[in-house]
Amino acid sequence: MRNPTSSWRALILCAALLAAAFAPPALAGTHCETQTVPAEKVAAAAATALRVAQALDQADAPAALVARVGTDLSAQGLVYSHVGFAVRDHANGRWTVVHLLNECGSDRSRLYAQGLVNFFSDDLVNQDARIVWLQPAQAQRLAARMQALPQRALHQPHYSLIARPGSKEYQNSTAWVLEMLAASADEGAGIGDRRAAYRRAQADGFKPDRIHVPYTKRVLGGLFAANVAFTDHPVATRLSGDYPVVTVRSIFDYLQRCGYIREQREWRGGRLMAEPGPA
C-alpha cells in the first residue's frame, strides 16, 4: 500500500513545478494586474501546502478552517486576514479550500474551490498558517454543506471589504465563513438565510472586531474603491470611524467561546508552534 504522505509530497511537488513553469497571474481579490509569481514564492507555498495537507490527513476530519496572511493587518492588531474551509475528497481534489473572494477589486465576489498550493500562492505577506478543527458532528455537517454547494450557499455577491456584520446588502469573505459556521452549528437547524445565520452567531455570543478608519482619512485620503462601501454602516459609525467587521480573529474567538473547536495547529515562519498565538 502506498504511503499517503509520499503521495501528497509527490502531488504537491508536481503542482509547484507546474505553477512555476506556467507562471500564473495572481488575480483573486486584487485589481487583476497580471503578475508572474516568482519560483521561490511558489516553492514556499508548496511547502506550506504540504505541511497543512499532512496535518489534515493526520487529523482525519472531513473539513476544517485554514487561515492565511494575505494582507498586513498588524496596524489593527490582527494577524490573519483570510480564512476558508479545507474540504476532504472534494470534487476538485483530496483537500480543496472553499472560500469567498472579491473579484478583481470590484464590488462583486464569488466562491472559489482551490487546491492548497494555489490557496497559499496568492501574493501573501508570509506563509504563516493556522488550521482549526471543529467538533466532529459540526465538521460533518459543514462538509456536507460544502459538498452540496451552490445549494444553500448563503452567498451575497455584492461585496464590501468592511461589510457590516449581519448586512443583507453586502458580504465579505469572513462574514460568509461566519454565517456558514453558524448555519452548521446545530443538527437539523436548516438555516438557509444569511440573516438568520448571523442572528444564530449573535445568540452564541459572537462579537465583531472594530476597525478604525478616521473620517478625515476616509474623506481626504481618497479611501474610495468599488469594493468598499462605507454607506453600509450608519452615520454615527461613519463619523466615529470605528467600523464593526467580521475578522478571522473574531471568528476564532467565537468558536473558542462556544466550545466548537476540537483542535488547532499553527505555523509561524515555517515552524510549528507549541500552541496557537494571537490571531
Read off the pLDDT of residues 70-111 as tens digits, 9 standing for 90 and up. 999 998 899 999 999 999 999 999 999 999 999 988 999 999
> 175 and 161 in contact (C-beta within 8 Å)?
no
* Pair 177, 85: CB distance under 8 Å: yes
What pLDDT score was predicted for residue 15? 44
- Amino acid letter, 256: Q
Confirm if 59 and 67 have CB atoms less than 8 A apart: no
- Has residue 26 got a pLDDT over 50? no
* Confidence class for position 33, pLDDT limits 50, 70, 90: low
In the predicted model, is pLDDT for residue 164 greater than 90? yes
pLDDT, residue 39, reads 83
User: How many Å is the maximal CA-CA distance in the chain?
Assistant: 64
Q: Cell triple for residue 209?
A: 472586531
Comparing CA positions, the residue from 248, 276, 245, 199 lying closest to residue 99 is 248
The confidence band for 18, taking pLDDT boundaries of 50, 70 and 90, is: very low
Answer whether 64's CB lies under 8 Å from 233's CB: no
214 pLDDT band, cuts 50/70/90, is confident
The pLDDT of residue 221 is above 80 = no
pLDDT of residue 13: 45
pLDDT at 12: 46
Cβ count within 10 A of residue 156: 20
Residue 31: what pLDDT? 52
Location of C-alpha cell 476597525 = 211
| Alpha-carbon separation of residue 181 from 4, 18, 247 (angstroms) | 29, 34, 14
**Residue 38: what pLDDT?**
79
Please report, rounded to a whole number, the percentage of residues in the chain having pLDDT higher than 70: 83
Residue 3, pLDDT > 90, answer no
pLDDT confidence tier of residue 123, bands split at 50, 70 and 90: confident
**What is the pLDDT at residue 17?**
36
| pTM of the predicted protein model | 0.87
Mean model confidence pLDDT for the chain: 86
Inter-CA distances, 40 with 5, 37, 117, 146, 267, Å: 23, 8, 13, 32, 19
Strand 261-268 vs strand 271-272: parallel, antiparallel, or unpaired?
A: antiparallel
Question: Does 8 have pLDDT greater than 90?
Answer: no
61 contacts 133 by C-beta, under 8 angstroms: yes
Predicted local distance difference test score (pLDDT) of residue 226: 84
pLDDT tens digits, one per residue of 173-205? 999 999 999 999 887 556 778 999 999 999 999
- Residue-level pLDDT at 32: 66
pLDDT, tens only, 223-251: 557 898 889 999 999 889 999 999 999 99
Helices 136-148 & 173-183, crossing angle to 10 degrees?
120
